[in-house]
Structure 1
Amino acid sequence: MLPMPYDEVHKEILKHIPEDRVYTDSLRTLAYGTDASFYRLIPKIVVDTENEDEVVHVLKATRRHKVAVTFRAAGTSLSGQAISDSVLIRLGEGWRDYEILDKAKKIALEPGIIGSYANQILAPHGKKIGPDPASIDTCKIGGIVANNASGMCCGVAENSYKTLDSMRIVLADGTILDTGNEVSKKTFTKSHGQILKDISHLRKKVLADKKLTARIKRKFKIKNTTGYSLNAIVDFEDPFEILQHLLVGSEGTLAFISKVVYRTVVEHPHKASALMRFPDIRSACEAATICRTQKVSAAELMDRAALASVQDKPGMPEGLTELGPKASALLVEVRGRTEKILQDKISKVLEAISELPKVTPHEFTSIPAEFNSLWNVRRGLFPAVGAVRDAGTTVIIEDVAFPIKDLAQATLDLQKLFKKNGYDKAIIFGHALEGNLHFVFTQDFNVQAEIDRYAAFMDDVTHMVAEDYKGSLKAEHGTGRNMAHFVELEWGREAYELMEEIKHIFDPEGLLNPGVILNEDPEAHLKNLKPLPVANDIIDKCIECGFCEPICPSRELTLTPRQRIVAYREMSRGALEGDSPEAMAAFKKSFDYDGEATCAADGLCAMRCPVAINTGEFIKVYRSWARGTWEKKIASVIANSFSFTTKFIHADLAVAGATHDILGDKVMTSVTKGLHKYSGKRIPQWNVSMPRPATKPTMTETPPSADKVVYFPSCVARHMGPEKKDPDKSALRDHTLSVLAKAGFEVIHPENMNALCCGQPWESKGFIEQADNKLAELEQALRDASKNGKYPILCDTSPCLYRMQEHIKGLKLFEPVEFTLTHLMDRLDLTPVSKRVALHVTCSTRKMGLAEKMEDLTKLCAREVVVPEGVFCCGFAGDRGFNYPELNEAALKELPNQLDGCTIGYSTSRTCEIGLSEKGGIPYKNFMFLLDEASWPKSTK
C-alpha cells in the first residue's frame, strides 16, 4: 500500500496510463530506479511514458499533490541526477521519432533515441550530432541534452548548448512550449509572459554587474556543467533563446525536454591517430596545448598509472610496459575532408610538437585496425580499474576541468592529492584539448572510516579545482547530487543566488528533481550511498553503468542485465542484513520471472559490458541452484537416452503438425494459448511457425576425396524441419552436403550421431553437470572422427558450435560462416541469387566476432540483403520461446516493419528461425540453403 499522497497520485496516473506501465512493486521500483552513479534512492512510483500527453498528465497529478518528480532517460548518469525517492518518469518505447531537416543541416530528435543511432541516421549524409560522450551507444538524446554531455571530440564548440537549434519542452505545470514554432511561442507569451519577463530581468541584472558577467564568460571558455548554463543569460538577448539554452544541462530540474532540433556537424571521412609517448606529464600537456592550436579533433591525455592499468591486456600497442615511471601519453586524432587535407594536418601537427621531448617517434596511422587498437587503450581505462577492484567496493569516476595553461601543474597536484588521501591506484586521463580530466579510483562505502576518507578527499579536490585553479568541478558528467553542495564554492554567492532565481522561475514549488544541481545540505554528497554487497563472483565487478541494456531482448519486457544484477544484489543484501522472510520471498518470486525466466541468457551483454560481465552465465548458475534432486535425475535420464529422446521429439512434432492440419491456425493457436496460460506456462506455447519433423536427407554421403571434413548436424537441425508454410521442404543436411561436395570435400560423420549433443539444452536450464557430460561425449566422438584434429569440423548451428569452441580445445571447430570463409571461398564461385533476403546474425555468431563477415558473405550470395536495425538476440533462446513467447515477441517487435520485399530470411540456428519466421511473417532457414543456391564448383578455366 502506498503512503499518502502517493496513493492518490497513483490513482490519477492510472486514469491516463495503462497499469502495465506503472510500477509500485519493490523489484521494479528498485531496478528501474537505479542509475550509474554511486547513489541510491528508490522511487515510490515508476511510470513509463510513451508521449507528451502522458508526461503532462503525470506532472499535473504530482503538482496537485505536491509530490516531487524526476525524469530518466538511459540512466548512464554518473552524478546521481537520474534517481528519485518519489515519482520517476522513464522514457518508454514511444519516444523514438526523428526527422532530417534542411538537407541534413538539422535533425529533430525525440529524447528516447540513442545517441549513436542518431549518428547512424545522419551517416549517409556525411553528418553527425555534435555531442560524442563515451556512453553514446547507450545514452539517449534526452540525457545528452539535459546533462550537456560532450565527449572526446566535441569540446565546447559542438556540444548541445552550441548546436541547439530549437526545443520542445513541458514545464512543471504541464504547459507545452515549442521554441521552433512561432504559434507556440505566441501562445506561451500570452499564458506565461511573466516567465519571459523574469528571464529578461535576469539578463539586465547580470549585464549590469560587469564582474559577474566577466566571471560567467571566463568560466564557460572551458568545459563546465557545474550548476546551470548561466552563459545563456549573457550569450543571448531573445528570452526564448535564453530559456531553451538554460534547459541544456539542467538535469530535469527546470522542465521536461520532449524534442530537440540540433544543427548537425560534418563527419569527416578521413581520419588518423597517433599514440604519442612523452617522458613526463608536463611534456604531454604542452603537446596538448600545441595540438589545440592545430585544431586536431581529439587529444586524450593518459598518465603513467592509466597506461599501466591496461598495458598487459591483449591487443595493446607494443612498448607500453617499457615506459618510465613518470611517462605519459597523448592520443591524438586528426580528421580531414580529403586524404590530402588529412596528410597536411598530420605534417603540421608533427612539425608543431617536434621540439618537445618524446620517448619514441610519433607515428600516425589511418588504418582502421591500427587506430582502433590505439583507441582501445583509451577505452580500456575505466573498465581496467573496475575489473580489479575489491568485491563490495565501487568505482568512482570524477570529472573536472582546468584552464589549458594550468593543465600540467593541476595534473601533478591532483596526483599529490591521491597520495595524501591514500588512493594509490587512482588513474588520470581526459580530454586534454579542453583541460578536462577524469580521475578514477575505487571506494568502499560500507565502512564509516572510508566514507570519511572520501569526504576529506572531495574537500581537497573541490578547493584545489575551484579556488586554486578557478576550474570546473564538473566538466561534462553533470552536477547531480555529487557536486550540488559545491556549486556555491565554485561560482560564488552572487552566481549561486542567480541559479536559485532560475530554479524558482521555472519550478516555483521545487518539485522537479529536488536535491539535484542546487542543494544546501553540506553532506548531500555523502548520503544515500548505494550498497554494493558481495553477491556472486560473476557479477561482483558490475559498475551498474547500463551499457549492456540496448541489446538485451527483455529490455522492454522485464529487466535488463544491469537491473538483474541490481535485483540480485538486493537479495544478497537482504539475506545479510536479515530482512523479513515475507518481503524477501515476495521479492524472489518477482525475480524468478522478471530476472530468471525471461532472461534469454544469450551473453551479448558481455560484449557491451566495460568489464565483460556475462549476466546470462550468471542466470544459468542461478537456475542450477533451483534444480532439485529429482529434476537432475530426470535430466540425466534424458541425456543418457538421447537417441530415444530425439525419436520422441520427432514423433511429437509429427503429432503437433497433424493436429495443426486438422484444426487450422486460429483454433490451434487459441487452444494452445489456453493450455499454456492455465498450466502456469508449464505447457509450451505452440506457434504457426512450429517446425514439422525433418525430412530424411536424400544425400547421405559425398564422393571420396583427399580433403575431408567432419560434419556434425546439431540435434535440432537433425530433427526440426521446415514449417508448414515454407514451400521448400528439403533437408538442411542435403544442402550442406551439396555445398561440401561442390567444394570437393569428403564428409565424415561422427559415430552414433543421433545420441550426440553439445549439451546446450541442459546448460541453458541450469543442468550444468548433464550438459558437461553430453559435451564430453561429443568431444570424444569428434576427436575420433577428425583423427584428433587432423580434419576440420563443421556444425551447422552457431549456438552449439559456440559452446563447443568454449570448452573443447585442440580441434578445428567451425560454424557455417567461418567454415565458408576459411575453407570454401577458393573452391566455389558465388553468383548472387535474385532475391531480397533478410539476415539474422545469432548471438553466438556475434560473440564469435563474425557479424560483419556474415553480412558481407550474404551480400555475395544474394542481390539485396536486409539486416534489421535494433534486432540483436531474437529472444527465442532454445526452447524458451515456447514457454515464454512474450520474450520472443518483445525482442522482435521491430522486425516485421523492416522486412518489406523480403521473401525469405537466413540465420544459423533452427530454434531462432522459429521465432523469426513467426514474428517476421516469412520463412527463415539456415544460411547453408542460400549458400547452396548461390554456389558453383570453382571454374578451372
Structure 2
Amino acid sequence: MTAISTTPPSISMDSLVERLKQHLPDARLVTDPLRRLAYGTDASFYRLVPSLVVRPQTEQELRFVVEACREGHWPMTFRAAGTSLSGQAITDGVLIQLGRGWRGAEVLDNGARIDLQPAVIGARANELLAPFDRKIGPDPASIASCMIGGIAANNASGMCCGTAQNTYMTLDSIRVVLLDGAVLDTADTASVEAFRKSHAVLLDGLERLAAGVRTDVELAKRIRHKYRLKNTTGYALNSLLDYRDGVDILAHLMIGSEGTLGCITRITYHTVPEPPRRAAAMIFFPDLGSACRATIALKGTGVAAVELMDRAGLRAVERQPGMPEHLRDLPSGATALLVDVREQDGDTLAARIDDVNQALEGIMTLEPVTFTEDPVSYALYWKVRKGLFPAVGAVRDLGTTVIIEDVAFPIERLEEGVAALTAAFKRHGYDDALLFGHALEGNLHFVFPQGFERAGEKERYQALMADVAQLVAVEFGGSLKAEHGTGRNMAPFVELEWGKEAYDLMWQIKALFDADHLLNPEVMLTRNPTLHLENLKPLPEADAIVDRCIECGFCEAVCPSRELTLTPRQRIVLARERARLANLEQPTDADRERSEAFGRTALYDIDTSCAADGMCGTRCPVGINTGELVLAMREERHVGKQQLARRIGRHFSGVTRVARSGLRGASVARAVIGDRLMATASQGLHRVSNKRIPQWIPSIPAAAPIRVLSSVAQVGEGRDPVVYFPSCATRVFGADKRDSSARAVMEVVLALLDKAGYDVIIPEMPGHLCCGMPFSSKGMVNEATHKARELNRELLAASHNGRVPILFDTSPCSQQVEQHLDARLKIQEPVAFAHDYLLPRLDIAPVESKVAVHVTCSSHRKGLTEAFIALARACAKDVVVPEDISCCGFAGDKGLRVPELTASSLQDLAGQVVGCEFGVSNSRTCEMGMTEHSGLTYHSILELLDRASQPRGANS
C-alpha cells in the first residue's frame, strides 16, 4: 500500500468483500483486475489501481461500506465523475463510486435554491434552473461532465464564478456521512441537535480552533488575504473566521475537502441569476503586459468574465476548423482578452459595454473593440477559449501527458506575476507552455506536454514546480491551486504556501475527523515531499485513433454502456494497458493477473458491449470517437468472415426477404404461445447459443409491407421530384402490432411526400441496396464499402447525377453514407428534411397528445438536436425530452444480441415518460428499443408530422 495510514488493514480484501456482500450484490463489488484499473482512472496524470471498487446506491449502503472499511482499516476514496485534474479521485485502497442512486435533484423556491445529490451533472442542474433564469454559481469548463459531488468537494469555480459564487459562498445546507458512519443534515433541525449531542467533541474541537484563529492576528490576516483570491489549496480555513458555530464550520470545511473529511451525499445551493442578454468581444493587445493592465482596468466594470489567452495559446488553435482567419496574422507577442458581458435587458447591456470601452481608453489594442450579441460569433469566441487545453492534448508527442496547473496572483500584481511565470517556463525549457485563464480573478492556467520516461524529465518537472511554487506562493502571496483542488499534485507544497502554523492547523482539522487517515489519504496533506512525482500514469502508444486521449472523462456522460461495463475513457485505458503489458520484460504479479484477465473478460467489456455510436466524439475535446477503435478491433477479429459477408451482401435482397419471413413466423408463434413463453424460449436459445441467436423481444414489430414501394406513381405537373431511399431496417421492420393506428415507415413517408406535393422516385433494386452500416458495424469493412458503392451508383442514376435531392428515412443511414457517396448527391436526413422542407409545405394542427422525444445519436452528431425538438414541438402541444439518455444502445442489432446494453442505457426511461401517450424517434431499431423499455410505443417522427398535418390550403 502506498497510501499512508497509521496501521495496515486489519482484515484481508477477501474478508472485506465477504462482509460487504451482506448488504450489496456482487455486481456492485468490483474485483476484476481490468475493471478495477479502468474504474480507478481519473483525469490526472497519476495512476493507482484500487483494491476494490464499490458502488453503493443508497445512503444506508454507503454508511455500511464506510463502517466496514473503517473497522477493517482499509483506506477509502469517494468518487463521482473522475474529471479531477490533480489526482484526488484515485486510490489503491477502496474506491467508492457514487453514480446510480445518487442523481436526485429538486428545484426549490421558484429556482432560488436547488437540492442536489452528488451524481447530478452540473449542466443538468442548470437545465433544471433555466426556466427560472437561474443557475448554480460554480461554472467549471467541465460542467457538462463533472458532477456536483466533485464540484463541491473541490470547491470548483470557473470562468464567471469568481470568488463570490463558488460552492462555499452559495452553500445553503449540506448532508454528509462521516468516518464513523454518522450522518449530519444541516437542513434538518433534529439531525443537527442529535449531532450536537453525539459529536460534541468534534464540534468543540472545531470551535476551539476557530477561537484560536480569531485571536491570532497575523494568522487571521493571512487567511483573509488568501481567500481574497481564488484558492483551493488546503482546507477552507476561512470557515474558522467566517463562522463560530461548530456545525457551520463543519459544513463549510467539507467544501473543498476533497473527500478527506467525509462524503457529501446532498447539497442545497443558493442559485444565482442567469441574465438572458449576452455580448462578448475578443480584444487583442500587443503584449501580455498591456492585456494585464486592461484586466485590472476592467475589474470594477461589472463584466461577467475576462479570459486571457497568450500568443502560444492562440497559435495552438488558429488552424482548427471554424477559427477566425485573422488569428494567424497576429504578431508574436499578441495577447487576447475575451470579455463577456451579461445583463437582464438591452439598455443595461449597452451601458455595461460603454463602461468597458471607457475603462480601456488609453490602453493600446491591435484592433477596435467590437462587442457582438450574435449567437454564432459569441459561441465562436468561447470555442477559441475552451479549445486551448485540448489543443495541447491533440498535438503532444506520444507517451507524454498534458499537465494543467492553475495559480492565482493578487490582481494588482497580475502583470509582474505573469512575467515571472513566463520567465520560469523559459528557464526550465518549457517553451511550448500555454498561458490562459480567468484573468479578472488573477487566476491563470498554464498547460504543457510532459513526458516522464526520458532521463532527466522528472527532475526538470520537479525543478519547474519548485520554482513556480516559490514565486507564486511566497514571492507574490498567491494561490498554487485556484480552482482545481490540491490533490496529490500540490499536497507537498501546501505548507510552503500557507506557512507552518496554518499547515499544523490543517493537520489538527484532519485529526478531528479522521485520526487514522483512512479518508483519501495522501490527498490535500502529506508528509511525503516527492508525492507529486510518484505513481505517474503510463501512456504507451496503443492505437493512432485514441493516442491523443487525455483521459479527461468528458465522454462518459453520453456512453450507453457506462453503467454496464466500460466508458470510452475506460476502453482507452485498457487499450493502453494491453500495449504496456505487451512490452514488459519483467511483469509483476499484478501485471500477470491483468494479462490473464484480458483473455477472460476484455472482449465483452471492450468490444461486445460497445454500441460504437460515436457519441463520445461529440464530447471529446480532441474529437476522438472510441467507437472507431472498437470497429477496427472487430475488423481485425472478423478477418476470416469476410467471405460470408460478401455472400450476404451479394444476396442482400434475399436476406431481407428471409428476415421478413422470420418476423411473420414470429408473429404467428407469438399469437399461439403468448409473449411470456415466447420471451422465455427466446432467452434460452440466446443463452445456449452464446448470444449468436438474437433474443426476441415483445417490441419486435410485424414485417414491413415492401410492396408499397411498387405502387408509387410518378405524376403531377409542377410537383418537385425527390428520391426516396428506404433503409433496410424500414424494409424489414413494419409497424408495431400492438398499436392499431401505426403504419410502416415507408407508408408514412410516401403519404407525407404526396401530401407535401412531391413526386417520388424510388431507386432501382431498392430491396438489394444498403448503406453498408450492418457490415461496417461488425468490422466487415470491405463489404460495407462495396454496398456503399452500389448505393452510390443507383442514387446517381435516380437523382440525375445529384440534381434531385435524396431522402433517407433513417437517420443513422444518412450519416453512414456521407463519407462514401458522390459529393454531387444531396442526401437529406429525415428530421432535417421534414423541418426545412416539409413543414413549410403543410398546414399543421399540433396533436393534443403528450409526446416523448428520443433524438438518435446520429442526429446529435449531425447537430440536429434543436431541429428535432423544434419539429416535435411544431407537431405536438406537449413534448418531453428525457434527461441523460443520448443513445438507446440498440445499435443496429445490439438490442437483440446484447439486450442488457439497451436495458442498462434505458433503465431510467420509463419513469421519465410517465403520462406520455407515445414516443417518436428517427431510427426504426432505436424505436424498438425505446418501446421495449418505456411502456410506450415509439414511432418515426415523420408519423407524428403526418398525423399533425394537412396539405397546404386543404381546409381553406
- Aligning the two structures, in what range does the TM-score lie when normalised by the shorter sequence? over 0.9
Matched, 1:187 2:200: no
Give the conservation status (yes or no) of the 8 Å contact 1:657–1:692: yes
SS of the residue 2:668 aligns to = helix
The residue that corresponds to 2:556 in the other structure is: 549
SS of the residue 2:372 aligns to = coil
- Residue type matched to 1:131 in 2? P
The residue that corresponds to 1:715 in the other structure is: 728
The residue that corresponds to 1:700 in the other structure is: 712
- Residue type matched to 2:597 in 1? A
Cα drift, residue 748 of structure 1: 1.5
SS of the residue 1:503 aligns to = helix
SS of the residue 1:622 aligns to = helix
- Residue type matched to 2:936 in 1? I
Specify every segment of 5 or more residues in structure 1 that has no aligned partner in the other structure, as ranges. Answer: none
> In 2, distance between residues paired with 1:705 and 1:821?
25
The residue that corresponds to 1:632 in the other structure is: 642
SS of the residue 1:398 aligns to = strand
The residue that corresponds to 2:913 in the other structure is: 899
> In 1, distance between residues paired with 2:830 and 2:699?
23
The residue that corresponds to 2:739 in the other structure is: 726
> In 1, distance between residues paired with 2:592 and 2:470?
47
The residue that corresponds to 1:830 in the other structure is: 844
> In 1, distance between residues paired with 2:262 and 2:292?
39
Matched, 1:764 2:774: no
Superposed counterparts of 1:892-931, under 5 Å: 892-931=906-945
Deviation digits for residues 777-831 of structure 1, max 9, x if unmatched?
1111111211221111111011111011122233111111222344334433323
CA distance 1:705–1:544, shift in 2 (3 Å):
farther
CA distance 1:608–1:588, shift in 2 (3 Å):
farther
> In 2, distance between residues paired with 1:623 and 1:30?
23
> In 2, distance between residues paired with 1:157 and 1:291?
17
Give the conservation status (yes or no) of the 8 Å contact 1:702–1:737: no
> In 2, distance between residues paired with 1:588 and 1:151?
43
SS of the residue 2:819 aligns to = helix
Give the conservation status (yes or no) of the 8 Å contact 1:167–1:179: yes
Give the conservation status (yes or no) of the 8 Å contact 1:571–1:588: no
Specify every segment of 5 or more residues in structure 2 that has no aligned partner in the other structure, as ranges. Answer: 1-8
- Residue type matched to 1:325 in 2? S
> In 2, distance between residues paired with 1:502 and 1:581?
41
Identify the match of residue 867 of structure 1 among 861, 875, 881.
Answer: 881
- Residue type matched to 1:625 in 2? E
The residue that corresponds to 1:795 in the other structure is: 808
Matched, 1:673 2:680: no
CA distance 1:288–1:929, shift in 2 (3 Å):
same
Identify the match of residue 751 of structure 1 among 760, 764, 768.
Answer: 764
> In 1, distance between residues paired with 2:921 and 2:151?
36
Matched, 1:451 2:458: yes
Matched, 1:252 2:259: yes
Deviation digits for residues 460-517 of structure 1, max 9, x if unmatched?
1111111221111100000000000000111111111111111101101111111001
Cα drift, residue 700 of structure 1: 2.1
Cα drift, residue 303 of structure 1: 0.6
CA distance 1:350–1:729, shift in 2 (3 Å):
closer
Superposed counterparts of 1:263-342, under 5 Å: 263-342=270-349
The residue that corresponds to 1:617 in the other structure is: 628
> In 2, distance between residues paired with 1:128 and 1:311?
32
Matched, 1:848 2:834: no
Deviation digits for residues 851-896 of structure 1, max 9, x if unmatched?
1011111211222222222211011000010011111111112221
- Residue type matched to 2:144 in 1? D
Give the conservation status (yes or no) of the 8 Å contact 1:222–1:401: yes
Matched, 1:608 2:619: yes
The residue that corresponds to 2:4 in the other structure is: none
Superposed counterparts of 1:418-497, under 5 Å: 418-497=425-504
> In 1, distance between residues paired with 2:126 and 2:947?
36
Report which stretch shifted further, 68-77 or 254-263.
254-263
TM-score by structure 2 length?
Answer: 0.96
Matched, 1:879 2:886: no
Give the conservation status (yes or no) of the 8 Å contact 2:10–2:72: no
- Residue type matched to 1:688 in 2? P
SS of the residue 2:947 aligns to = helix
Deviation digits for residues 559-579 of structure 1, max 9, x if unmatched?
111111111111111111155
Report which stretch shifted further, 508-517 or 52-61.
52-61
- Residue type matched to 1:605 in 2? C
Superposed counterparts of 1:396-415, under 5 Å: 396-415=403-422
SS of the residue 2:945 aligns to = helix
> In 1, distance between residues paired with 2:891 and 2:649?
19
Matched, 1:520 2:527: yes
Report which stretch shifted further, 22-31 or 922-931.
922-931
Report which stretch shifted further, 187-196 or 612-621.
187-196
SS of the residue 2:868 aligns to = helix
SS of the residue 2:793 aligns to = helix
Deviation digits for residues 421-465 of structure 1, max 9, x if unmatched?
222221110001110000111011222322222111111111111
The residue that corresponds to 1:656 in the other structure is: 666
Identity %: 50
Identify the match of residue 696 of structure 2 among 686, 695, 708.
Answer: 686
Give the conservation status (yes or no) of the 8 Å contact 2:834–2:942: no
Report which stretch shifted further, 575-584 or 37-46.
575-584
CA distance 1:376–1:205, shift in 2 (3 Å):
same
Give the conservation status (yes or no) of the 8 Å contact 1:67–1:87: yes
- Residue type matched to 1:35 in 2? D
Report which stretch shifted further, 583-592 or 807-816.
583-592
Give the conservation status (yes or no) of the 8 Å contact 2:564–2:901: yes
Matched, 1:380 2:387: yes
Cα drift, residue 588 of structure 1: 3.8
Cα drift, residue 595 of structure 1: 1.4
Report which stretch shifted further, 520-529 or 450-459.
450-459
Q: How many residues align?
A: 939
SS of the residue 1:746 aligns to = strand
The residue that corresponds to 1:529 in the other structure is: 536
> In 2, distance between residues paired with 1:232 and 1:731?
64
- Residue type matched to 1:187 in 2? A
> In 1, distance between residues paired with 2:562 and 2:593?
28
Deviation digits for residues 905-935 of structure 1, max 9, x if unmatched?
2211111111111112222122222222233
The residue that corresponds to 1:586 in the other structure is: 597
The residue that corresponds to 1:538 in the other structure is: 545
Cα drift, residue 757 of structure 1: 0.5
> In 2, distance between residues paired with 1:585 and 1:632?
29
Deviation digits for residues 13-42 of structure 1, max 9, x if unmatched?
111111110111111111110000000000
Deviation digits for residues 120-160 of structure 1, max 9, x if unmatched?
11222222111111111111111111100000011100101
> In 1, distance between residues paired with 2:231 and 2:951?
64
The residue that corresponds to 1:346 in the other structure is: 353
> In 2, distance between residues paired with 1:383 and 1:782?
40
> In 2, distance between residues paired with 1:759 and 1:255?
53
> In 1, distance between residues paired with 2:229 and 2:548?
34
**Cα RMSD after superposing both structures:** 1.6
> In 1, distance between residues paired with 2:115 and 2:855?
31
Cα drift, residue 3 of structure 1: 11
Cα drift, residue 4 of structure 1: 5.0
Cα drift, residue 581 of structure 1: 6.8
SS of the residue 2:204 aligns to = helix
Report which stretch shifted further, 642-651 or 218-227.
642-651
Give the conservation status (yes or no) of the 8 Å contact 2:30–2:36: yes
The residue that corresponds to 2:946 in the other structure is: 932
The residue that corresponds to 2:43 in the other structure is: 36
